Structures are given as C-alpha cells and as structure tokens.
Structure 1
C-alpha cells in the first residue's frame, strides 16, 4: 500500500506570511473599474478621490429670514431697537444665493414685524452670520477620501457634493468554489441515501466571502478523478480571481487537490499545524491564489478565517478587523497535542460580571456546534492544553451584549430548553439562553463551582426512588443552591416505527442481542438505565452498545431512526420528532438547580417566567410526554 504523507506541518503564522509573500511575487493584486457613485455603497476606492467642485459653490443662506448688510443693524439692543425699512433687506430662504450688497442673514425667529414692511431688531447682526460660504463643506481639489476606503452612505453624499459622480473602485473579486468528491451530492435535496453527503460548504464559504466583500462563483461538484479536477481548476483560474477547492486536500487515495495544483500551478504549502484544518493546500496558478480546504465544514471555516481571509486584502484592498476578545475562566480541562495550534469552540457567559467559557465538542464535522458557539480560544502548538479555572483569551463569535444577557444553563439535555429560548426571543425580553449538554452531574458540578446560573438535572436516587433531592442535599449541604420544579417526563425505549423486533423492555434487548445506543456517563438517563438494569437483574455487558454514547435525546432518536441502533432510552418528545415507537418505562422529574445568589438575577427570573407561561405549556403539550405539576416552584429539600 502506498504511504501518503503531507508535505509539511508548517506553523500557521509562518505559512500565512510566506504564502502572502509568494503571491506578491507571483503578481497577485486587485483589479479596478469605474463605477457610479450613487451605486457605490460598500465598494472600495482604488485611489484617493478629490473634489471636482466646491460645496457650496456660492454663498448660500443657512436660514430662512432676511438678507442685508450687517452694518444696518449696528447699535440694535433690547432697549434701543433698530427699525429696518423694506428697502434695507431682502427676504431669503435656506439655500438661496446671498444677494448682492448683503453680508449676513437674520433668521425669521429674530424678526419682529413693525408694519408697512418694516422689521424691528433687538440684536445687532455680525458679518457673514447664517451664511454658508463658498467651499464651507469642501473646496475643489480637496481630498475627500484616501485609497482603500470602504464607501459609506455619508461618503456617497460627500462625493456627490464634491461633484464626483463616478470614480475608480477596486473590482469585486470573483472567487471560484469547487466542491469535490464522489460521495458529495446537491445539498438542497431533501431525501438522501446512506453514503451520500450533502454539499453545503460552498454555501457557508459563499456567505463568508460576501461578508468580506468578494463574490463567490460555485462550480458543479467534481468527481474524484484527477483529470476532471485539473480541467476544472484550470477553467476556474482563467475566469476568476482566486480558486478554492473543497475536500481532496488530505492524504487519502482519492485526495487529488495538491497533485492537481502541481500540474496547473505552484504548490507552496500542504499541511498547516492547526487543528482542525491541517490538510490545507496553499498555492497559486499564475497570479491566481489557490486554496484547498478540508471537506469537514469546521476545518474549512477555520482555514477560510485564518488563511484565506489573510490573503483576500491583496484582491479587495480591505482591512479586516479581528474579532473582539475577552478573558474568560475555563470550566473544564482541555487537553491538546503538541503538534498543532488547536481551535476550541466554547459557550461564553457572565456570572457576577466574570466571564466563563464552557468548551464544546471538537468534531471537525459539527457545523451546528460552530453556529451555536459564542467564542473560540486557541491552544498553542507547544502546549499540552489548558487547565480548568485557567483564564483563556476568547475570540468572540457573538456580540458582547448578547453574551452578557444570556442565562447559562449546564446539565441534562431536553428540547424544552430550545423552546424557552425561542419564547424569550419572541417576547423581546433581550435574554438569551446558552445551554451546554454535559449531563446532570455536569450541571451539579457547574453550579457547585460557580460556572453556570442554572443546572438542568434529572438524577434518580436508586435507594429512595426520588429524583434530584438527595443530590442537592449531598452536594449543597449549606443550602447554597435551590431546586426549582421543572417538568415531569416519561422515559422509555425508542424503537423503529412498528416495533419490528417486538421489544417490550430491556430484557428483550439483552436476550435478543439487539443493538443499543446509550447516553453518556453522568447523564440522568444513564443513571436511570443502570438502575433499571440492576432492578431487572440484567448485566450491562449483555447490552450490545452499552458503551456507545450520545449526548442528547434527539441524537439517540436520530441514531435509532437511521437504523444504526435498534433501541435507545429517551423521552417521548424526541421519539415523536423522528416518528419512532415509544415504550414507556419510567416517570421522572426534570428540574432546575439554581445557585441561591442567582435567584435574583433578572436573566434567571425571565427564564422562570417563561417556564410558568401558558405558551410554554402549550408547546410542550404538542411535543408530548410532559406534566406540569408545581412547575416553577421551589422544591422543599428536607
């Protein structure tokens, strides 16, 4: 078997600097065109722009009133008013040219009619008062703006005022995006066969390019054939200002991006010391930049942000601001290798004005995780990771005000959290919900360590059969946290529609050796499963799939629906989403643990108000499997 290797594992900073230098030597630069000023919003000036006329180009009245020689008003005062005859002045409106033999304007509010066309003044005028002088705004020949300036509404007005009706602008660069892969299919198709991967990376990258002032040109999907890819990138490089190839950049047998580039142009780097994003390919075809991005969407986004965005100023003339940053305390140890600079997504929230960061899953293919993340921190290439409680620098992905207005909920997953978040949005409360699904024990730990406002928990005491109370007594003996009643839920087995295996309970799964999908350790559902197995005398090792874990009820349901597992324990609302059969096993209580100090927090209050609302209950009734007895009330722990 052929051994595939990356050409390099170059540090990011070095790779970007050397790549930009290589592009400059290849002659990569922007193009220009003449455009109409009125249509120039968001465009970039290619050169300094100078006024072609004065504004105003005549002496103009700045007020409605009368124009006259100021000397005729001298001596006017409160006790010695001056009377003007109709021959002493001329009526004038704002913007009118100043008449000959006039050097000032008195606004109408300061005039007192004295009859017969006469005007009485109690205050003397001064020369050139209320007069817009020639070139007051700008004079012919003055520079209105510099090169590489992004046109704003006010600049458009300034250009037109200065007689600049068209100007030389940087042409919006066209960036070719070429999706590749035999397994890739049109992402707009609703029905997908197993093995078919929907193509949506091009939509993500197109939107990013639009934000950066470039235009995407998406090519049809190219199969994994070297000659087809070579043909496509040659065409793309002739017709566009840069080329991005999606996938085929790794070291597999059908990964042809680097090889195709070498046939058509120059390969500068293959393999960057970042994770995700290592298999990036950097080069150029003549003076046209070429970037091969990995097929996993998060990897691609990182390469676009960290590499392609750094190259783009050569084509757009723009400066791109770095994301706002802040320091936040890490809630979980994050381990990394020494080989790469690693990018970790996280959720950020504020507790007592202190920012905390909850690390999220690192999968390079989890694009929804990127969309939900509120920030990113990095682990340097030379570091083994970050410790829990350590301050890290976060590059924000969401507005700071939104993060400050977020209620942080850590713990067990339930779709109802999303429903609360949506209702808060609809009511215009300004409060956001930031939820991290780490299991019920994770919720208890977060509250105990001051890392969340609320913990979502459903933990069964296998001795007493009650939910949550004993855990609060054990972990919060000094009453530093309060338990708020949430909802009752039905837990049961989710199975394929029609229940073809005739599953009645957990014994059937063990005896028939059916495949099972479990929840992660520390989750309330995992605790319940262990309790039920023990109660029925079933060994965990007899459940095929016991060690196979998912982090949410909907992920378990999706796995069963895809027939990747034959059963999984979860809640009725998740089963209904995926049209699965549901075999009820146990009634449980899903509650909210709140730090006592957070009870008076307005964000927590807003969350609890929604919890008690009719619209929330109506939504959960439609979802099915919930009860609302004493919802929102403080539970007596005893």
Structure 2
C-alpha cells in the first residue's frame, strides 16, 4: 500500500482554528509539493549498467530486437504438436515417437513431425513443427523411443513466444522512473550495457549557528552542540539518489550566510540550509535568500517543521530548515526528498514502504496543519512516540510515521492508519 500525506486515516470532525496570531502565513505541504516545482534538472550522462541502479533514464530505452528472440520452453518435457495430445488421459494416453532431444544453448537439430515428440529442457529452443511443450510430469516413457502423454496441452502451452518478453521497438525501460534491479536485468538481456541517465543531484548542506560545532569535536563547551543534522540530511539525500556535499558551519554573524551561499550556489543543484529559517533575531536564512533570489514560501502548515523556507536563487532551489533536528528531518523527508528526485528527472518519487495498523491510543491534533507523528509498530498496533523536536532519539526509536490530515482535530484509538515505514 502506498501512503499519501492526506489519506489513510480516519479524522475526527474538524474543530475551530486557533485564534492565536501566526508569525507568518504558512502554506500546506500539498501546496508545496504541487506548487514549488523548480525547472532545474541535472545534466544527462552515460552511465554503465553496473552503476545505474536507482538512476533516472533521460528517455525510454527501446528494444533493438525482440526478447527472448526465439520461442523457448518454460518447462522440462517434450516438444509436440498440440493436436497430437487432444483427448489424452490416464486411461487413454496418446503415444508419440521420441525422435530426439534439444540441447541447452544450441539450435535444434531435429523437427517435430505429426505423431512425434522431442525432449526439451526448460529454456531450450522450440524445434520446427512444434507448437507446445507437454510437461514431463504428464508423460511416461513406456518403451525405448516411445512416450505416452496422459494430459492434453493447448497450442502455446509450456512455451514463451520469441517476442513475448519485449517486442522489437517496445520500451525496455521508461524515462523518468528510477531504475530497479529487474530493469537492469532486462537491459542486460537486450545487450544494453549503458544508459543515458540524469546525473545525481549535487545537494549542498550548509549548517548555521554559533553554538554548532563539527561532529569530531572531542570536548563540548557549555551551550555547544555537535552538528547532527547535516549527517542525517546527507543520509536522506543519498537515499533519494543525490550526492550530498556537507559545506560546513556558518556563524550567526550578519552577512556570513549570504557569503557562503554565494560561494556554493554555482556548484549546487540544491542548497539546504540547516537551521536559521525561523523568526528569531539571529535567523539569517530569509535575509540571505532574499538578497540572492526569490522566496516562494516561508512557513509550512506542518508539525513539526513549520518554519521551513522554500526559495530559488540563480536557478538553484533552496530549502531552509528549522534548527531542531527532528523537525528538520521530518520536513526534509516530506518536501526535500521529492525535490531531490525531481532534480534527477523523476517527477513521481518511488513510493516508500508502508503498512496498515490500528492506532494504540487517542491522538490529539490541531485543525489546519499536517501533524507528522512518529510511531512504533508492534502486532498490528501503531504506538505514538512523543518528545521534544530537539531529540533525535524520537526518530531513531520509530519504525515509521503517520500523518494527521489538516482538517482533523485528532484520531481516535483503534482506527486504522497508514504508517510510512523507515527503510
């Protein structure tokens, strides 16, 4: 089952919205996914088949010849004329002359004439004159050179046509969809050893904050925190087929983020600014982006992750994330990951694994926003996990997440919910 943020739950009746004043006007996640669609795409390059898993072909790849290319047996048995088996049964078998056998990897050296049969291995080339293969389980060799058939076979039974896998000129793979393992197998079967695919999007991750220090900092001073978000974001980027580039930590000094963004934009397909997108006095992302490009929105109707910024600077999309690690990762999974796939030429990201479960307890929510709730799934029950958005352990303990749609004021215990599972 595929999970979509606005479906898969049973909401309560919406209640009145809070009358409290908002810091900024928030757009819905659905609006962001539908409306923030930068035109940028990565360049196209020739990719060897061995490196093509999850890469996105720039166009469909047609078959130069039919596959498998010859009529072949799908069972061990005997190649026959189907008409010679009609009416055969255990009590009244058909008797056929065994006139030879087909060897694997070789063309047949014998044809099937009326009243005759040829021994067949699975995958062997169907000999001339035959139109079916009867399974060995439905035959017996009663005497040398003669077999009896105890069950009839229809024309085409036990056989794959020469073009049944793929017809000549038909697409082997489609453009715009990431290549999966079976796609690589089909391309190899057709003799395709490289494919024209979009380059992996280069995603530059910039961390901000005077309190943030590199992960290899041995001793923290009071108030300092190691940069955990950048490493986690890099993992999400790799999962989405991107190439993450961690560009270090920028101080809260005015102008520092704008300078760093000017430096990284020319080599980026996407810039992600970790922290700095909320409305505090120190938060620099909005100002830096406004100086370099155009802000599409500042604020999403989502919890956690409301102070998210989406923008474009010099043709490069920019995502500004909240400072709390949980909030940053939740919103990047919902909005940033589809953007990475889009940059790589894939407009519809591959669906994430999901499952159905029953909610273990009542789940309150506020109407007008999308609530993303981490859950543990055990024995068909989804148990919500709660904790401050600064705690990464909430995510590491979760098996997946569910969403409460914007109109709902909560979900009742016992309702069936769709849980998106973490790989």
Q: Which has the larger radius of gyration?
A: 1
- CA apart distance, 1:219: 1.1
CA deviation string 1:401-440 (max 9, x = no partner):
xxxxxxxxxxxxxxxxxxxxxxxxxxxxxxxxxxxxxxxx
Of 31, 44, 47, 1:17 maps to 31
**Equivalent residue for 1:114?**
143
SS of the aligned residue for 2:55 comes to: coil
**Equivalent residue for 1:365?**
390
- CA apart distance, 1:358: 5.7
TM-score (structure 1 length as normaliser): 0.50
**Equivalent residue for 1:250?**
278
Q: How does 1:137-286 map to 2 (within 5 A)?
A: 137-286=165-314
Of 97, 119, 123, 1:84 maps to 97
CA change 1:234–1:16 in 2 (3 A) is: farther
CA change 1:392–1:309 in 2 (3 A) is: farther
CA change 1:144–1:95 in 2 (3 A) is: same
- CA apart distance, 1:356: 7.7
Report the structure, 1 or 2, having the larger helix content. Answer: 1
CA change 1:58–1:32 in 2 (3 A) is: same
Q: For 1:179 and 1:71, how far apart are their aligned partners in 2?
A: 75
Alignment coverage as a number of residue pairs: 380
Q: For 1:394 and 1:81, how far apart are their aligned partners in 2?
A: 58
Q: Which has the higher contact order (CA 8 A, sep 6+)?
A: 2
The answer for unaligned runs of 5 or more in structure 2 is 1-20, 101-115
Q: How does 1:277-356 map to 2 (within 5 A)?
A: 277-316=305-344, 317=346, 318-319=348-349, 321=351, 328=359, 330-331=361-362, 341=369, 343=371, 345=373
Q: Check whether the contact 2:23–2:279 (CA below 8 A) recurs between aligned residues.
A: no
- CA RMSD in angstroms comes to 4.1
Q: For 1:280 and 1:349, how far apart are their aligned partners in 2?
A: 29
SS of the aligned residue for 1:219 comes to: strand
**Equivalent residue for 2:56?**
44
Of 366, 381, 396, 2:419 maps to 396
SS of the aligned residue for 2:183 comes to: helix
TM-score (structure 2 length as normaliser): 0.72
Q: For 1:278 and 1:190, how far apart are their aligned partners in 2?
A: 33
- CA apart distance, 1:278: 3.5
Q: For 1:310 and 1:104, how far apart are their aligned partners in 2?
A: 48
CA change 1:285–1:324 in 2 (3 A) is: farther
Q: How does 1:545-560 map to 2 (within 5 A)?
A: none
SS of the aligned residue for 2:249 comes to: coil
CA change 1:31–1:8 in 2 (3 A) is: farther
CA change 1:98–1:295 in 2 (3 A) is: same
CA change 1:247–1:18 in 2 (3 A) is: closer
SS of the aligned residue for 2:248 comes to: coil
The answer for unaligned runs of 5 or more in structure 1 is 1-5, 400-638
SS of the aligned residue for 2:326 comes to: helix
SS of the aligned residue for 2:45 comes to: strand
Q: For 1:394 and 1:79, how far apart are their aligned partners in 2?
A: 58
